[in-house]
Structure 1
Amino acid sequence: MEANDQTARAMENHDGVSFDEWIQLVGNRFVPLTVSTIDPDGFSGSLRTRVVDGTCVTDIAASSHSVHRLPEAISDDDPHHLKLSMQLEGTGLVMQDGRSAHLTAGDVAIYDTARPYTLEYDGPMRSLVMIFPHSMLGLSANLVHTVTAVRLRGDTGIGRVICPFMQHMAEEMHLLDGVSGARIMRSAFDLITALLSAELHDSATREPWRVTLDAVAHYIDAHLEDAALNTDSLARAHFISSRQLQYLFQEEGLTVSGYIRQRRLERCRLDLEDPALASRSIVQIGQSWGFVDPSHFSKLFKATYGRSPRDHRLAFVDADVLPA
């Protein structure tokens, strides 16, 4: 979906939708999907949608139906996003990458729009579905792909803390508007990353080097403000060589410095969009996330987001309250 389409759908509600209407609403919403049901005449569906900070959050309730992301429908031009589905009522089945997750109320599963998947609901259901760029998570793509279509339980471990938060978010979707909504979404992604990390940690089949990469990524996020954060300091902190560390990131198609820069820029972008931080100068924001050279920070930001830090900030914060 293009950015202007997302804006147009920032607040969207559809109730009592017929199956033909459901196909139109769901079948090509973000990427092409095939939707089927055994009872088209008796079908009824509803959805409520909010778009917050590049993430679409949808509360879906419907009769029995199936959703298929078919291989022939996948194009390189489609947005490559992740989807997260949390079962609120009824049961669901999520299938991708040769795995299947049977979800009951409170359970979560994640899947990737760039590869085929299937969702099956054999009775009345309600789900909270989030679609978002992978960059919103503090985990590498290869790590996430090891937990697609895995049941993340809401009644045990860390899920008992995280899933109630998301259930409340579904019930109070009107709170996802404006600046408060952006803050709630940041918290949601921190919690989702924690839930996925817990699953990765508990998985007996994961490769040992992936544990190291996960730990390094978490360490980076916790030390972004340190201007001296680099390959050598990271390697020392994790008792491996710089060459080993570089190899870990190369396996993900990344560089250490590039990953650090990406995470710092993302933090700066969020701070520039926050009216609560309007009293802080752009230089202060850049320095707080490890950018010691204001000119270099400005060039990197514009190259990444298409406009200067100041212009980006003015799109979200009233100029009258900004520092001179």
Structure 2
Amino acid sequence: MDRFDWFTEVVSRSLMPSAFSPLGDGGFHAEGASLDLGAVQVSRFVYSPLRSRRTARLIRQGDPEQYQLGLVTAGTAWFAQDGGEAALRPRDMALWDTSRPYESGSGMDGRDVEVLVLQIPKARMPLPARHVDGLLARRLPGGAGLEAILAGFLVSLAGDGPAVGAGGLGALGDMAVELAAACLAQRAGGDGGPASPEVRAHLLLARIDAFIDRRLGDPDLTPRLVADHHHVSLRTLYALFEERQEGVAATIRRRRLERCRADLASPALRHRSVQDVAARWGFASATAFSRAFRAAYGVAPSEHRRRALRLDGGWTG
């Protein structure tokens, strides 16, 4: 496989299926690397000038259902999608939607381009789609303000992220999403002005969700702690959750139970007692945990473990 075919395969697999055409008569060269940050991923690519496009057929072939934010760190590029077109120079960014066709080009001046790409699952984007859609293929200059902070953070992630332990990568992913959403929210406010109250509420709710996930193992995690950490009243916190089917306390309990259920079904954790698993995810009382687990799943925790490990082939007694 030559370098161009390798590049096409790597980008199509790690980002999304796309069609590429090299520019110029010189030999094509490229390099790439990716860093997993939980549900989020950041990738770095350096490559010779080329054109790329994503058609409806390629979308049907594979769609990761992501928003992808590209930061140009060297060279030049342009991106067109959904009626928008952005010409990008170093420190500029642009956002695109993997579920829509696009066209792009890079290195029109004959030089290589370096791009960092932040991949955000649509389910993790805290902003309403109608706000994000208006920002597709729009130039986001990264020379000042929030955009400069985001650009610097992405550069640091690509350079220093691989040295971070696995336990810290998920938190870095949450931070990247929060920063990206804050930049987009500001742009959605018009002319870089303040975001609307609705957008600010979505951003706050996203921060609260990430905080809850990070603190699930803390038995002191309560709605009061969540509210105090985010400098809002309990009344405001409860109001934020009114659009959902469950409140704050129910959300914490459900997510803890989901983590316990997964751990109890894991052969790698079968040496840990049910009580240890419960305590790991913030249940201080074994009795309360057993009662909540049975109410949620209709079976006792120990029975769930026996069934799961028997099906997996890891249970012998």
| TM-score normalised by the chain length of structure 2 | 0.64
CA distance in 2, matches of 1:145, 1:208: 16
Which of 39, 42, 46 does residue 27 from structure 2 map onto? 42
Q: Conserved in 2, the CA contact under 8 Å of 1:19 and 1:41?
A: no
Change (3 A) 1:179 1:100: same
Amino acid at match of 1:133: P
Partner-residue secondary structure (3-state), 2:85: strand
Cα deviation digits, residues 28-47 of structure 1 (max 9, x gap):
44432101122365211111
Question: Take 1:258 and 1:39, find their aligned partners in 2: how far apart are those partners?
Answer: 58
Q: Secondary structure at the match of 2:73?
A: strand
**Match for residue 148 of structure 1 among 136, 145, 154:** 136
Residues 199 and 300 of structure 1: CA distance in aligned 2, closer, same or farther (over 3 Å):
farther
Match status 1:64 vs 2:49: yes
Alpha-carbon separation, structure 1, partners of 2:67 and 2:294: 29
Matched, 1:52 2:3: no
Matched residue type, 1:170 = A
1:286–1:297 Cα contact (<8 Å) kept: no
* Paired residue secondary structure (1:172): helix
1:111 to 58, 79, 96: 96
- Matched with 2:186 is 198
1:170 aligns with 2:158: yes
Deviations 1:54-74 (A, max 9, x none): 333211001111221112222
- Counterpart in the other structure of 1:81: 66
Spell out, residue by residue over 1:237-265, the C-alpha distance to the aligned partner (whole angstroms, 9 max, x if none): 59x9x9xx98xx6xxxxx56499949x84
Q: Root-mean-square deviation (CA), in Å? A: 4.6
TM-superposed CA distance for 1:87, in Å, is 0.9
1:62 is matched by which residue type in structure 2?
Y
Query: Cα offset for 1:114?
Result: 1.0
Aligned length: 266
- The residue number in structure 2 matching 1:127 is 115
Q: Is the 8 A contact 1:162 1:191 kept in 2?
A: yes
**Alpha carbons 1:50, 1:176 under 8 Å: kept:** no
Rg larger in structure: 2
- CA 1:196/1:299 → structure 2, altered by over 3 Å: closer, same or farther? farther
The 1-side partners of 2:175 and 2:21 are apart by 35
**Counterpart residue identity of residue 102, structure 2:** Y
Look up the SS of the partner of 1:118 in the other structure.
strand
Identity of aligned residues (%): 22
| Cross-structure match for 2:266 | none
Q: 1:208 to 1:196 in 2, by over 3 A?
A: closer
What does the per-residue CA deviation read over 1:177-226, in whole Å, with 9 as the maximum and x for residues that have no partner? 52232332222222222222221223589997854764774696599766
2: CA distance, partners of 1:203 / 1:299:
52
2:310 alignment counterpart:
none
Native 8 Å contact 2:178 2:207 kept in 1: no
* Secondary structure, counterpart of 2:71 in structure 1: strand
In 2, the alpha carbon distance for the partners of 1:183 and 1:120 equals: 33
CA distance in 2, matches of 1:85, 1:19: 21
The structure-2 alpha-carbon separation of the partners of 1:221 and 1:146, relative to structure 1 and needing over 3 Å to count, comes to: farther
Closer/same/farther in 2, CA of residues 265 and 103 from structure 1, 3 Å limit:
farther
Q: Which residue does the alignment assign to 2:78?
A: 93
1:1-324 → structure 2 map (5 Å cutoff): 18-39=3-24, 41-75=26-60, 78-121=63-106, 122=108, 123=110, 124-176=112-164, 178-203=166-191, 211=199, 214=202, 217=205, 227=223, 237=236, 255=244, 257=246, 261=251, 265=255, 282=278
* 1:159/1:300 CA distance change after superposition, 3 Å: farther
The answer to which of 202-211 and 140-149 deviates more is 202-211
- Residue 189 to residue 101, structure 1, CA distance change in 2 (3 Å): same
C-alpha deviation, 1:130, in angstroms: 2.2
